[in-house]
Structure 1
Amino acid sequence: MSSIDEIRDARIKKLKLLKEKGYEAYPAESKRELSLNEAIENFDALEKSKKNKWVAGRIMSIRGQGAIIFITLYDGTGTFQGLLKKDVIGDEKLDFFNEVVDIGDFIELEGSFFTTKRGEKTMEVKNWHMLSKSLRSLPEKWHGLQDVEERFRKRYLDTLMNEEVKERFLLRSKAVNLVRKFYNDNGYIEVETPRLQTVAGGATAKPFITHHNTLDVNFYLTIAQELYLKMLLVGGFTKVYEIGRKFRNEGIDTMHNPEFTMLESNEVYADAKNQRDLIEKLFKYLITEIFKLNKSKKVIIDGVELDFENPFEVITFYDLIKKYTEIKNPAKANEKELSKYAEKIGIKVEPNESKENTMDSIYKKLCRSKLIQPTFIIDYPVAFNPFAKRKENDPSMIDRFQLVISGIELVNAFSELNNPIEQKERYLEQDKKGKGGEEEISPTDLAYLEAMEYGMPPNGGIGIGIDRLVMFLSGARNIKEVILFPTMKPKEE
Structure 2
Amino acid sequence: MEEKKLAEQNHQPAEEKELTQQELSEQIRIRREKLAQLQAEGKDPFEITKCEVTHHSTEIKEHFEELEEKDVAIAGRLMSKRIMGKASFCNIQDRNGAIQSYVSRNDIGDEAYAAFKKFDIGDIISIKGFVFKTKTGEISVHAKEVVLLSKSLQVLPEKFHGLKDQELRYRQRYMDLIVNPEVRDTFIKRSQIITEIRKFLDSKGFLEVETPVLQTIPGGASARPFITHHNTLDIDMYCRIALELPLKRLIVGGFERVYEIGRVFRNEGISVRHNPEFTLMELYQAYTDYNGMMDITEEMFRTVAQNVLGTTTVHYGGYELDLGKPFARKTMVDAVKEFSGVDFDQVKDTEEAKKIADEHHVEYEERHVKGDILNLFFEEFVEKNLIQPTFIIDYPVEISPLTKRKPDKPEFTERFELFIVGREYGNAYSELNDPIDQRHRFEYQEYLREAGDDEANMIDEDFLTALEYGMPPTGGLGVGIDRFVMLLTESVSIRDVILFPTMKPIND
TM-score tier by shorter-chain length is over 0.9
SS at match of 2:462: helix
User: Quick check: 1:408–1:472 contact (8 Å CA) kept in 2?
Assistant: no
Q: Does 1:404 align with 2:415?
A: no
| Counterpart mapping for 1:219-298 below 5 A | 219-293=237-311, 298=313
- Name the CA distance, whole Å, in 1 between partners of 2:404 and 2:260: 22
Q: What is the match of residue 81 of structure 1?
A: 100
- Name the CA distance, whole Å, in 2 between partners of 1:22 and 1:40: 36
Against the structure 1 CA distance between its residues 396 and 184, is the aligned structure 2 distance closer, same or farther, given a 3 Å change threshold? Answer: same
- Name the CA distance, whole Å, in 2 between partners of 1:104 and 1:482: 25
Number of residue equivalences: 484
TM-superposed deviation, 1:80: 1.3
- Name the CA distance, whole Å, in 1 between partners of 2:326 and 2:140: 52
Q: What is the match of residue 17 of structure 1?
A: 37
Amino acid at match of 2:448: K
Q: Does 1:423 align with 2:438?
A: yes
Q: Deviations over 1:348-380 (max 9, x none)?
A: x55656665554344334321211111110111
TM-superposed deviation, 1:256: 1.2
- Name the CA distance, whole Å, in 2 between partners of 1:338 and 1:150: 47
SS at match of 1:367: helix
| Counterpart mapping for 1:83-482 below 5 A | 83-99=102-118, 101-293=119-311, 298-325=313-340, 327-329=342-344, 331-332=347-348, 334=351, 336-337=354-355, 340=358, 344=361, 356-357=371-372, 359-482=374-497
Q: Deviations over 1:134-171 (max 9, x none)?
A: 01011122332211111111122222222222211111
Give 4+ residue runs of structure 1 displaced > 6 Å after superposition. Answer: none
User: Quick check: 1:24–1:130 contact (8 Å CA) kept in 2?
Assistant: no
Structure 1, unmatched stretches of 5+, are none
SS at match of 1:456: coil
Q: Does 1:54 align with 2:80?
A: no
* Greater shift in the superposed pair: 38-47 or 80-89: 38-47
Q: What is the match of residue 91 of structure 2?
A: 72
TM-superposed deviation, 1:339: 5.4
Amino acid at match of 2:391: F
SS at match of 1:2: helix
Structure 2, unmatched stretches of 5+, are 1-20
Against the structure 1 CA distance between its residues 44 and 310, is the aligned structure 2 distance closer, same or farther, given a 3 Å change threshold? Answer: closer
TM-superposed deviation, 1:239: 0.8
- Name the CA distance, whole Å, in 2 between partners of 1:102 and 1:461: 54
Against the structure 1 CA distance between its residues 353 and 59, is the aligned structure 2 distance closer, same or farther, given a 3 Å change threshold? Answer: farther
Q: Deviations over 1:255-279 (max 9, x none)?
A: 1111011111111111111111121
Amino acid at match of 2:92: L
Against the structure 1 CA distance between its residues 355 and 139, is the aligned structure 2 distance closer, same or farther, given a 3 Å change threshold? Answer: farther
TM-superposed deviation, 1:300: 4.2
Amino acid at match of 1:409: E
Amino acid at match of 1:313: A
Q: What is the match of residue 7 of structure 2?
A: none
Q: Deviations over 1:451-491 (max 9, x none)?
A: 11111111111111111111111222211111111111112
SS at match of 2:384: helix
Against the structure 1 CA distance between its residues 87 and 291, is the aligned structure 2 distance closer, same or farther, given a 3 Å change threshold? Answer: closer
Against the structure 1 CA distance between its residues 288 and 16, is the aligned structure 2 distance closer, same or farther, given a 3 Å change threshold? Answer: same
Q: What is the match of residue 63 of structure 1?
A: 82
**Identity %, equivalent residues:** 42
User: Quick check: 1:338–1:358 contact (8 Å CA) kept in 2?
Assistant: no
TM-superposed deviation, 1:301: 4.4
Amino acid at match of 1:490: P
- Name the CA distance, whole Å, in 1 between partners of 2:34 and 2:383: 57
- Name the CA distance, whole Å, in 1 between partners of 2:404 and 2:438: 9
After TM superposition, the score normalised by the length of structure 2 is: 0.90
- Name the CA distance, whole Å, in 2 between partners of 1:145 and 1:361: 41
Counterpart of 2:50 (choices 18, 23, 29) is 29
Amino acid at match of 2:80: S
- Name the CA distance, whole Å, in 1 between partners of 2:434 and 2:32: 68
CA RMSD of aligned residues (A): 2.1
Against the structure 1 CA distance between its residues 288 and 35, is the aligned structure 2 distance closer, same or farther, given a 3 Å change threshold? Answer: closer
After TM superposition, the score normalised by the length of structure 1 is: 0.93
SS at match of 2:255: coil
TM-superposed deviation, 1:132: 0.7
User: Quick check: 2:333–2:374 contact (8 Å CA) kept in 1?
Assistant: no
